[in-house]
Structure 1
Amino acid sequence: MRNLSDKSLKQLNSKKGLKYFLLQDGMTSEKAVRIMNYENKLKKLQGELIKLQQWVEANNEKVVIIFEGRDAAGKGGAIRRVTEHLNPREFKVVALPKPTDEEQGEWYFQRYINNLPREGKIVFFDRSWYNRAVVEPVNGFCTDEEYNIFMNQVNDFERMIIESGIRVIKFYFSISKSEQIKRFEDIKTSPLKKWKFSKVDQQAIRLWDSYTEYKKRMFAKTDTEISPWIIIKANRKSAARLEAIQKILELVPYKTEV
């Protein structure tokens, strides 16, 4: 407590600060201040996201925001914070399941094209067409030929949709192996989260090096000038969420009319 500033002490003496101490076991003064500072920053950024969404709608813009990363990297949590206060009629979150037999007979990108935004809308992809760049080849869900075709086509595909007027932002949430192990253990022991632990997750640690190799190939091929990757260091979930929102606000020029 003695190392805290007067501002931090005032925060702790507020109703919110006292609530943390009453409701959470093991709460320290430093941790409470850190959480309150995070929530204050998040609230401010979320207010800007509302302005951004209104700009997108008013100007008939189309925005795609891709969230990629290892299992348990925090993609879903980040998307929830980004969309928490947005108008649900003007955006959608796309997390496509395993393709159907019919979809498997289509061009790989087809089902993603079907989910691209219309004018005035934002689409968030919780994993995207980049499944074929990493997850599928690592786990044997596609052939070498299918992987190679994808890698030969993906840059042209992105160039076409960007030139058609869709703004594309690509995030990769990066975590350490030790952090992934820790998060998996938290998920498996939580009665509310253990449903999230899939067969693919079970193999993730064993296949860590293979994921790393395909991730490197993906960056080398698809980190282009027209569609670059933004790497978010995600060992700290709160910092990763704030950074992702800040990048969105920087990359979409919603303040041009102010």
Structure 2
Amino acid sequence: MSHVARTVAIRLLAVASAAAVMPAAHAVALVTTDASAVAMFQAGGSVLGFDDLPPNGGGGSAGNTGVPIQPASQLSSQFISMGVRFSSDGGPVGIVSVKGLGNQADARSAFNLLGGSNGGGPLPVLDYFRPIVLNFVLADGSTASTTNRVGAWNDPTGSLIRLSVFDMNGSLLESAEAAQGNFIGITHAGIASASFTYVATQSQAGFSLDDVSFGPVSGVPVPPAAWMLGAGLLALGLQRHRTRRLPR
């Protein structure tokens, strides 16, 4: 890459990084199966696939509705350092695996998914009708913060779901719905929390999520991987631009 091209790439990255933390003037909902559109939504933020965490019971039938969620597979504060806490009806979210199952393709990144929980017993149990909630916080885990976008992939063999985002006061900022197999995301200034909820059954009753995505959380450093993703997208765009101007 020439010195001029490198300079342009650096300037483009700086502009994109600044845009990533700028508040959105208006709410924008993205409901799509277009991976390129999703990549642009995710650029400069965080994408959580949960595949480094142990799935409930090692996978298989331990991911069925009503199965108790073992402590190691209860998702709540594991990503506090990235500015997010997970919950479902006040309890943890369940981590399950679809590896080797008939719905293995439900996983956007192999092979863990998130499911809601019902906390009515000694251990919370998996309940795919329950909401999955994200609260954005500072790294201390107790101070509320905000981001400018949040989204996730809805599983391809599930249900119609709704994503709602709220401000610091709990007031609804925006909501949108997505059918099974779609990515759903909302961009809006001042998102303090987000809730994914069941609306109506399609292929199967209930829903699960994968590749939960959110923008930079105010007061929390952007993970290095997010900078790399943004740089990669910009470099690809620059290369396409140069190819159009300099055909062989």
TM-score by length of 2: 0.30
Query: Which structure shows the bigger proportion of residues in strand conformation?
Result: 2
Look at both structures and tell me which one has the larger radius of gyration over its CA atoms: 1
TM-score by length of 1: 0.29
